Structure 1
């Protein structure tokens, strides 16, 4: 029988494998090397076991390895681990995998108590601004398709409510510049956040009609205040340090958030939605949105969330429609692109439409549009 520490090291190895580059843009050789070495150290009862003390029986969905990597990354970002920083490209370093653990181990020993507290207190935050590219296309489809179903001449304006919003970085899809392959730009061409969509195909919508968002808000059980240095460091620490495009997007998204604050309330999704969804508004499409958050939601909250949404869907009217738009992973066995595919899915009520709009990378870029019925 495996000990709790052995199970933890296995989770570290699984998470390390998920970070393997495989020649693609979504991997992280640095995080792979760090977690692989930490797993070996856990098996040997080294300093990693002391850092992870109290987290030995954490469930896999809480991704303890990524919490460990994020806590170490934060020390680097704060300038408190200069020898380790030479491996981190986002602060000017270059990975030397054979030397990484020799530089990491003294940092773990020096900051042991702080790292242990941070690993136990924190949750992984996955604000990925790149997801706003397919999200913008999905919202255009939703607003226009809901209007077409009721014979409305123009697209519905949108109320956008995000579950698991973290720092709220993905609540401004209409205020991002999304560059298409032909040089056209959707959204705000003057935005500080510019996304190269890398789309195959186009959303099944009139891209000449701008998206109108009249209200936006989010909730999270652990919201991050990106107006503070602590909040910005927290989100930045979970961006893999050798994915420089992601790093630049996150920093630009936080600058946009500073210019355009959006409320993210501390609440569970079901509780928050049960309050929000009673506030129907005529002439507006209400869109509930979440991305790569479902795996972190406890089963009880998932069931309650479905129930709350079903009740609201039953009350939706042609003049006050409701949509669910999600970007979540689905396991795809034996796939060359990895074990998971990320699908953009849309449901519309009272129209009763269920659409699979397309699939893409975990960070929203690249993305392939391919409308099908979502069963």
Structure 2
């Protein structure tokens, strides 16, 4: 079972990270042989697919490299200044795996995959502009609402600063051009909103079952370890997002999503659009908590007024066609009491590139 999960994870990252693909493919073969990988994964043999044990293993190995514990392996990792030599990767990994097997097993068992990908700020920013302007239109206002952003599954909170990020479109930078984090959103098309209006965020909060404190070295290493080490652009984005977080801290509360959301939505804010946001989280949520979350949101939606509007904005993988079709990541918006439900577009799982393509969300 574990070998199959590792092989599946290797296949999924084959086109995007040859380094991670090779590491997980060789680790899958090692599992079949009963090698050191089996000792490292002891206790995780029956983990659900949704917990992606292969990526937890790859993250734990990457963290060894980032901590300077595996110098021979570091020569393959661009995040440590190396250049991958894929045929030699596994042989150079083996001494570190044997030496640190107990530590790796501990980290694999204790760790949840949390990339907290800052590239997702780009579709979020466009979606928030649409939501704020559409809510104002429905309320008969000329000026867009300010936004109160509530993120479920916020991890380290790196996507709770969309107004503090810059978004380069040709010769123009939307958002904050002076931000440490300036993204190339790689948009095809544009969001159906006036991009000349700046996003106004009046409040932010987030929750997570296992929040990451990005003000600590441990928290920064935790998030960094899950970036595929040969994806240098993603690595640079994360470093910039962490620098931004250091100047603008937003605490993330340790809490189950439904209970936290019920507390946050208990009191509506007048003349503010409250936006519930989550990205690439739904697959990790239990069916029971999904039902509870929907009930909490439905209760708040029934109480929304034109002066206290509510929105749901999500970026999650959805099946692209029939049962045998693959998945694609879609940006979806619901707005109450306006009754607006839109599929705003679709893009890569890390947020860029993104295609704006508006249609009804049924």
Match of 1:83 in 2: 72
The structure 2 residue matched to 1:275, chosen from 263, 270, 278, is 263
**How many positions carry a matched residue from both structures?**
360
Moved over 3 A (4+): none
**1:41/1:47 contact within 8 Å kept:** yes
The structure 2 residue matched to 1:12, chosen from 6, 22, 26, is 6
Report whether the alignment pairs 1:243 with 2:231: yes
The structure 1 residue matched to 2:182, chosen from 186, 190, 194, is 194
Match of 1:37, SS? helix
Match of 1:318 in 2: 306
Instruction: State how 1:270-309 maps to structure 2 within 5 Å.
Output: 270-309=258-297
Cα offset, 1:350, TM superposition: 0.6
Match of 2:162 in 1: 173
Normalising by structure 2, we get a TM-score of 0.98
The structure 1 residue matched to 2:327, chosen from 340, 346, 371, is 340
**2:74/2:82 contact within 8 Å kept:** yes
> What is the CA–CA distance in structure 1 between the aligned matches of 2:260 and 2:160, rounded to whole Å?
16
Report whether the alignment pairs 1:131 with 2:89: no
**1:126/1:292 contact within 8 Å kept:** no
Match of 2:210 in 1: 222
Report whether the alignment pairs 1:157 with 2:146: yes
**1:344/1:356 contact within 8 Å kept:** yes
Match of 1:48, SS? helix
Report whether the alignment pairs 1:38 with 2:35: no
> What is the CA–CA distance in structure 1 between the aligned matches of 2:74 and 2:319, rounded to whole Å?
35
**2:115/2:224 contact within 8 Å kept:** no
**2:151/2:206 contact within 8 Å kept:** yes
**1:331/1:340 contact within 8 Å kept:** yes
Gaps of 5+ in 1: 1-6, 22-26
Match of 1:87, SS? coil
**2:319/2:328 contact within 8 Å kept:** yes
> What is the CA–CA distance in structure 2 between the aligned matches of 1:355 and 1:79, rounded to whole Å?
47
Match of 2:89, SS? helix
The structure 1 residue matched to 2:221, chosen from 201, 210, 233, is 233
CA offsets 1:284-306 (integer angstroms, 9 cap, x no match): 00000000011111111111111
Match of 2:350 in 1: 363
> What is the CA–CA distance in structure 2 between the aligned matches of 1:191 and 1:9, rounded to whole Å?
43
> What is the CA–CA distance in structure 2 between the aligned matches of 1:13 and 1:303, rounded to whole Å?
32
Match of 2:312, SS? strand
Cα offset, 1:94, TM superposition: 1.2
CA offsets 1:120-178 (integer angstroms, 9 cap, x no match): 00100021111101110000000000000111110000000100000000000000000
Deviates more, 1:325-334 or 1:241-250: 325-334
Cα offset, 1:340, TM superposition: 2.5
CA offsets 1:83-136 (integer angstroms, 9 cap, x no match): 001111111111111111101111111001110000000100021111101110
> What is the CA–CA distance in structure 1 between the aligned matches of 2:176 and 2:329, rounded to whole Å?
26
Report whether the alignment pairs 1:350 with 2:337: yes
Gaps of 5+ in 2: none
CA offsets 1:212-269 (integer angstroms, 9 cap, x no match): 0000010000000000000000000001100000000001000100100001000011
Cα offset, 1:331, TM superposition: 2.8
CA offsets 1:179-221 (integer angstroms, 9 cap, x no match): 01x3111100100001001111111000111100000010000
> What is the CA–CA distance in structure 2 between the aligned matches of 1:89 and 1:209, rounded to whole Å?
39
